[in-house]
Amino acid sequence: MPDPSGAAVFTTMLPAAMLVVAAGVVALLGWFRPGLPPSFHRWLGSIALVGAGIAALITFHALGNTGGVGLVAYAGAVIADRFDAYAVLLLCGAGLVATLTSGAAAARLGPRMPAFQALVLTATAGGVVIAAQWEMGMLVTGLGLLVISLIGMVALEKTAEPPGEAAFRALVTAGVAMALLLYGLAIIYGATGTTNLAATRGQFVHGAALEGLGLALTLVGLAFLVGAPPLHHWLLQVAAASSGAVAGAVISLAVASGGIALVRVMISGFSPGMRPWVVLAAVLGAVACLYPAIVSLAAGSVRRLIALGVCLQGGLLLTALIANGVGRDYLSAQGAVALLFALLVFVLAIQASFQAAARLDADGIGSGISDIRGLGRRSPMTAGLLCLGLVGLAGLPPFAGFLARILIAETAMAVGYSWLAAASVVASAIYVVPVLRCLAAVLVEDDDLPALVSTSPWLPGLVGAACAVFGIAAFALAGPLIFAAHGAASALR
């Protein structure tokens, strides 16, 4: 292995290093100085995340003249390119929201709050490693760091039994997914003779069954992060069992990292010209769109509705994935552009809706549809946030999710997958129906219960509302955001 250049190593590893070091500091301070207020750890984590984001922003600008090649270190195992910078910004944003809103779970986390903050940082660092990797070993390292951190975040709420069970189920699912991924990568290594994802795409033999199996296993292994079937139950379980703040943090970080991993591995590593995984992704995408949409018609609780909305979004991400310039020049990577733009607005919608769930927790309101009747009168702020979150999740106008859905369907049809485009549009339309029912329950129906005085801390609600507002603003700002996504996608090779 040639000696890595100092600048390249520094640039590629800086955000992840900052996050891991900060996580260590937060954890140690929590261990040795238990008397420190929870807000101290929160702000320390926030500073680290902002710092990592700024580092990524500088990288994004500094790489303008590299033609998308970026800086490569450790014999191509890691790379700092525009995609990496975009991904780090997105992950740090998701991590920052998770950190700032963690106060809503303070009662259930108790003295374990510093550990939670540290795990948010390590989970973000895991996602950052996945974004920067170009090699199977680094991929597994990043994925392991991410998954263990996420499971730990769920398990920390051990004052109640359901989160523990959810964490265990997530652990089992993650274990299965990791196993599938490792089998897939092993088969691909056997077939191509390299673990470097930059080299694999040139080594594939088109139509080979073994390689097809490897690609399929890898895809299914990665798709569990975005909540796509068949490994989506962990997401439903976490959404139902964890507090709103924790579920929002875990799921938004998982989806953001999952989307990034899918792009980096499947597009950058395996090329969209490989038919086996593209066809499988199309089928998975259609199932992941339609199944949660249809199941959501019978959803009896807000949390389940939100979780199914996230699964639907996972399906949409897979739909965008297959549309990444099949049969075209990679620079016209429009599917990846749509995916990256969608990923941003989806994460915002997830956070906004789970912050609403967190406010329901804090106000002592159940998450059943019958529990939220008349919420518009009883607790206008919570009701407003819930409505914004659900409408954003459903991708109704004026939220940018609406535009993201159109872009994804456009890209699917552009590469000849008209049926998949139709499935994604139909699924999105179906999901609107239960959301409308929920809105009516909140705003129209009433059960004459007295008005509530919310005891929820102000910061999580404010951050959740900011996510919702940015989800709307992203529609108007679609031009620059898509330009940024285009810059990131054009770095994929």
Partner 1 sequence: MSFLAQTSSAASTSGASFPTIIYTCLVWSALLFAAVVLVMPDQTHEQRSRIKSLGISGAGAALFFAIWAVESQIADVALGTGGLPGGDLVERHLWIASFQFESTYHLDADGLSLSLVMLFGVVFFCAALAAWKNDRHVKMLAVNLLILETAAMGVVVSYDWILFLLFWTLPIAPIYLLVRAFGHGQGDRAAGRYAVGMLASGALLTLAAILITFQGGLHSLDMGAVPVTLPGKGGGVAFWLITVAALLAMAIVPLHGALLDLEEDSTGVLSAIFVAVLPSLGAFALLHVAVGFFPTAAGSYSLFFAAVAVVTVVWAGLAALRTDDLRRLIGHVGTVLMGVALLGVAGHSTIAVTGVMYLLIARGLVVSLLMLLVSAIQESTRRVRISQLGGLAWQAPYLSALWLLASLSVAGIPFLAGFTGDYLIFTGSFPAHRWATAIVLGGTLLTAGVLLWTAQRIFFGSSQDSFARVRDVGPLDLTYLGVLIAVILLVGILPGHFAGLFQNGAGYILFPGTV
Contact residue for partner 1 among 2, 6, 327, 479 (CB under 8 A): 479
Q: 77 vs 404, which CB is nearer to partner 1?
A: 404
432 binds partner 1 (CB under 8 A): yes
* Residue 247, token pair as written in the block: 């579920």
Closest approach of partner 1 to the CB of residue 424, in Å: 10
**Binding flag, residue 407, partner 1 (CB under 8 A):** yes
In angstroms, the CA 43 to CA 49 distance is: 10
Instruction: Characterize the bridge pairing of strands 71-73 and 78-80.
Output: antiparallel
If one asks whether residue 419 binds partner 1 (CB under 8 A), the answer comes out as no
Say how many residues touch partner 1, by CB under 8 A: 40
- Residue number, 123 or 430, with CB nearest to partner 1: 430
Indicate the residue among 276 and 384 with the shorter CB distance to partner 1: 384
- Binder to partner 1 among 28, 69, 179, 433 (CB under 8 A)? 433
| Binding to partner 1 in span 85-144, by CB under 8 A | none
| CB 475, min distance to partner 1, A | 8
Binding status of residue 478 toward partner 1 by CB under 8 A: yes
Select from 207, 444, 447, 449 the one that contacts partner 1 (CB under 8 A).
444
In angstroms, rounded to a whole number, what is the distance separating the alpha carbons of residues 169 and 337?
33
By CB under 8 A, tell whether 264 contacts partner 1. Answer: no
Q: Give the residue with the Cβ less far from partner 1, 219 or 263.
A: 263
Q: Which is nearer to partner 1, 252 or 382 (CB)?
A: 382
What 8-state DSSP symbol labels residue 264? I
CB atoms within 10 A of CB 337: 25
Q: Which 376-405 positions form the footprint of partner 1 (CB under 8 A)? A: 391, 396-398, 402-403
Segment near partner 1 (CB under 8 A), from 211-219, 225-233, 241-249, 483-491? 483-491
Contacts of 353 (CB under 8 A, 6+ apart): 248, 306, 309, 386, 389, 390, 392, 393
485 sits near partner 1 (criterion: CB under 8 A):
yes
> Binding of partner 1 at residue 342 (CB under 8 A)?
no
**What distance in Å separates the CA atoms of residue 309 and residue 296, rounded to the nearest whole number?**
8
Query: Closest by alpha carbon to 360, among 334, 331, 390, 381?
Result: 381
Burial pattern 402-439, b for ≥16 Cβ within 10 A else e, equals bbbbbbbbebbbbbebeebbebbbebbebbbebbeebb
Query: Given candidates 425, 459, 462, 466, which one binds partner 1 under the rule CB under 8 A?
Result: 425
List of residues 6+ apart from 400 with CB closer than 8 A: 341, 345, 348, 471, 472, 473, 474, 475, 478, 481
State the minimum distance, in angstroms, from the CB of residue 321 to partner 1: 16
Whole-angstrom distance, CA of residue 434 vs CA of residue 138: 41
| Angle at which helices 418-443 and 380-394 cross, to 10° | 170
Tell me how far the alpha carbon of residue 86 is from its chain's centroid. Answer: 14
Footprint on this chain of partner 1 (rule: CB under 8 A): 332, 334, 337-338, 391, 396-398, 402-403, 406-407, 409-411, 413-414, 418, 421-422, 425-426, 428-430, 432-433, 436, 439-440, 443-445, 475, 478-479, 482-483, 485-486
